[in-house]
Amino acid sequence: MNSEPIDEILVVDDTPANLKLLAMLLVEQGYRVRPASNSTVALRSIAAKVPDLILLDVRMPDMDGYTLCRQIKADPLLRAIPVIFISALNETADKIQGFAAGGVDYLTKPFEPAEVLVRVRTHLDLWRLQRRQEQIQSELECRVVERTAELAEANRALQQSEERLRLVIEATSDGVWDWDIQNQALFLSDRWYTMLGYAPGEFVADHESWLDRVHPDDLPEVNATLQRHFDRLLPEYSVDYRMRGQSGDWHWVQARGKVIGRSADGLPLRMVGTHADIAERKRAEARIQASLREKEVLLREIYHRVKNNLQVIGSLLNMQGHEIEDPAIRSLFEESADRIRAMVLVHEQLYRSEDLSSIAFDAFLDKLLKQLSQQFFATGIVIERRLSAIVLGLETAIPCGLIVNELVTNAFKHAFPDGRKGKVVVELSENDDKRICLTISDNGVGLPAGFSPQRGKTLGWQLMAGLVNQIEGDLQVLPGPGTRIELTFQAQHAEAKRYQESLH
């Protein structure tokens, strides 16, 4: 009968699927598994019975794995338990933080089942050796030789662990740094030096030598970001800046890091991180920005030419309309000329916009309504503006401007017959569903009973229906005195969105 005790393994992971998979894998190999879905459950399980080994996830809701590991290692009765981190975080800084917290190994998800089993077996064997060494210390003098041999084996295993960590650092394409903040001592990996054209160890690695190589224009942002992380205002330190290389040229790098040790009063003691070469990314961003500037210049030329051509067409329509005797046809010419003038107004405002990728639509609309007020000044009808600050992309601003012009012009022409005076109110806001709401109302005679914008038969309503479809909006007539028409749509921010996506 086999009297060897069964190893008990505590598996801590807040993802049920991962927890189940690891438990099944270990049970099939004959281990006794105790699952825990969070750090609180894990601590209760350890208090009830000390496990032989812990498989520990890093990201958990109540207490992350690093904090839990440090709490275990702080207890003299628990510090010998081998802790293997198993996480989707695969950055060098994350692994370094895992070893610094007291972990004996670090596996990354998705994991290979065979690798998990080998490492579990290895560290259980190492722990068993360690426990045997503690027992040997209390045995007779005759077992000194055996004890020494076992200590040598444990030392070899430790050297292997350190070698694995060294290989991980050397394998990454990023430079690795480890900063002893209290003593102002700095470790820089070989790759950190060579990334800037230096030979490894070419200059003394300390905080002052690093500061001396940061571009003066970037230093204020670098220091401010670092201080905000020290003050716990940022979860991690991450900033792009330029560093002077060995030949005197400037290299763009992205520095990322975290404080992994603090004093009892919260002062940072140790910080680890990486440097990544982002020169190619910066060159790509410069090309994109140059392309956008060229595109904007071209768009402004197009809007200017379109405006001039529309003005010519409007003048021709107006001249031809005066020569036509049929009132219905003459009215159609005049209506078309009015729409051409509206397009001229919209394109003129776009031509004058400072930024075509993100248009301040409230300011754009304010200028458009002022011009309409001047155009219909003689009627005595006033326009009241209630405009919230809204930013739209170019592809949304154009049709919206034309819709507003059509509705306001309709109100001036049809809502106040026989020379009546009145008021047109234009409201722009964002509703609770994050949709843009544009309302045009008046205190005039109102629309015919049962009127629907979707079934409007005139050319103006048909054109507006096409514009509303273009922005995937919804146009409705609301109840009330006079006329009240509401347009709702989702802001696209088209040009700005495409620019941001191009950077990633």
- Residue of 317, 382, 381 lying closest to 343 (CA atoms): 317
> Which whole number is the average pLDDT over 58-83?
90
Q: Please state the φ and ψ torsions of residue 156, each to the nearest 5 degrees.
A: -65, -40
- Greatest mean pLDDT among 31-40, 294-303, 315-324, 348-357 lies in 31-40
How many CB atoms neighbour CB 199 within 10 A? 10
* Helix, coil or strand: residue 3: coil
Residue 503 pLDDT: 38
Say which residues have a Cβ less than 8 Å from residue 497's Cβ, sequence separation at least 6.
393
How many CB atoms neighbour CB 420 within 10 A? 13
Residue 504 pLDDT: 41
The overall longest dimension of the chain from CA atoms, in Å, is 127
Beginning with the edge strand found earlier in the chain, give each strand of the sheet holding 53-56 in spatial order: 32-36, 8-12, 53-56, 83-87, 105-108
Pick from 70-84, 152-166, 423-437: least confident = 152-166
Q: Which residue has the higher pLDDT, 169 or 464?
A: 464
Angle between helices 361-375 and 394-414 (to 10 degrees): 30
Strands (E) across 189-287 are located at 237-244, 250-262, 268-277
- Pairing of β 32-36 and β 8-12: parallel
- Residue of 10, 14, 149 lying closest to 81 (CA atoms): 10
- Residue of 259, 229, 255 lying closest to 240 (CA atoms): 255
Helices (H), 324-391: 327-352, 361-375
Q: Pseudo-torsion of CA 228, 232, 237, 242, nearest 10°?
A: 10
Peptide bond into 481 cis (omega under 30): no
Residue 66 pLDDT: 92
> Which whole number is the average pLDDT over 261-290?
88
* 371-504 has CATH 3.30.565.10 classification: yes
Q: Please state the φ and ψ torsions of residue 17, each to the nearest 5 degrees.
A: -65, -45
* Helix, coil or strand: residue 140: coil
> Which whole number is the average pLDDT over 288-315?
63
Residue 241 pLDDT: 94
Residue 146 pLDDT: 75
| Superfamily in which the 175-277 domain is placed by CATH | PAS domain (3.30.450.20)
* Confidence at 247, pLDDT banded by 50, 70, 90: very high
> Which whole number is the average pLDDT over 478-484?
85
Q: Is pLDDT of 444 > 70?
A: yes
pLDDT tens digit string along 79-128? 888 999 998 888 888 888 989 999 989 988 888 888 889 989 988 888 88
| Superfamily in which the 8-171 domain is placed by CATH | Response regulator (3.40.50.2300)
- Quick one: 285 exposed, middle or buried, by C-beta within 10 A (0-12, 13-18, 19+)? middle
- Residue of 366, 390, 374, 378 lying closest to 489 (CA atoms): 390
Residue type, 95: K
| Residue spans per domain, the chain | 8-171, 175-277, 279-352, 371-504
Whole-number Å distance between alpha carbons of 31 and 107: 19
Q: How far is CA 8 from CA 36, 40, 73, 76, in A?
A: 13, 19, 18, 20
> Which whole number is the average pLDDT over 123-141?
74
Pick from 109-113, 265-269, 432-436, 457-461: least confident = 457-461
Q: Please state the φ and ψ torsions of residue 473, each to the nearest 5 degrees.
A: -100, -175
Whole-number Å distance between alpha carbons of 249 and 393: 39
Q: Which residue has the higher pLDDT, 469 or 463?
A: 469
Residue 313 pLDDT: 65
Q: Which residue has the higher pLDDT, 130 or 328?
A: 130
Please check whether residue 365 is in contact with residue 428, taking contact to mean a CB–CB distance below 8 angstroms.
Answer: yes
- Residue of 281, 403, 300 lying closest to 342 (CA atoms): 403
* pTM of this prediction exceeds 0.75: no
Residue 501 pLDDT: 44
- Give the percent of the chain with pLDDT over 70: 77
DSSP 206: B
Residue 493 pLDDT: 45
- Give the percent of the chain with pLDDT over 90: 33
Q: Pseudo-torsion of CA 260, 263, 265, 271, nearest 10°?
A: -30
Pick from 36-45, 135-144, 193-202, 251-260: least confident = 135-144
Angle at the Cα of 31 (from 26 to 37), degrees rounded to 5? 60
Pick from 252-266, 267-281, 455-469: least confident = 455-469
Residue 318 pLDDT: 63
Q: Is pLDDT of 459 > 70?
A: no
Residue 207 pLDDT: 86
Pick from 148-162, 193-207, 392-406, 477-491: least confident = 148-162
> Which whole number is the average pLDDT over 1-15?
80
What does pLDDT average to over the chain?
Answer: 82
Structure tokens given for 260: 């992994």
Q: Is pLDDT of 132 > 60?
A: yes
* Confidence at 271, pLDDT banded by 50, 70, 90: very high
